[in-house]
Amino acid sequence: MKELIKRLVETPGPSGYESKVREEVRAAIEKYAAEVYVDALGSLIARKGPDNGSGKRIMISAHMDEIGIVVTHVDKNGFARFTNIGGVYPRNCVGGRVRFLNGVQGVIGQEQAGAREALPLSQMYIDVGATSPKNCPVKVGDVAAFERPFTDLGNRLVSKAMDDRIGVAIAIETLRQLEDTPHQVYFVFSVQEEVGLRGATTSAYGVNPDIGIAVDVTRSGDTPNGPKMAVKLGNGPAIKVRDSGMLSDPRVVAWMVARAEEARLPYQLEVLEGGTTDARAIQISRAGVPAGCLSVPSRYIHSPSEMVDFNDVQNGVKLLVAMLSQPVELG
Catalytic residue among 193, 194, 270, 306: 193
Beta bridge partners of 47: 35, 186
CA distance 227 to 248: 21
CA gap 93, 113 in Å, rounded: 13
Q: Please give the Cα distance from 69 to 205 (Å, whole number).
A: 29
Show the CA angle centred on residue 52, arms to residues 48 and 53, nearest 5°: 75
- Give 278's contacts (C-beta < 8 A, 6+ positions apart): 61, 62, 63, 188, 190, 193, 197, 199, 200, 212, 214, 216
CB 275 within 8 Å of CB 306: no
Answer positive or negative: Cα dihedral of 31, 33, 34, 35.
negative
193 assigned to active site: yes
Q: Which residues are catalytic?
A: 193
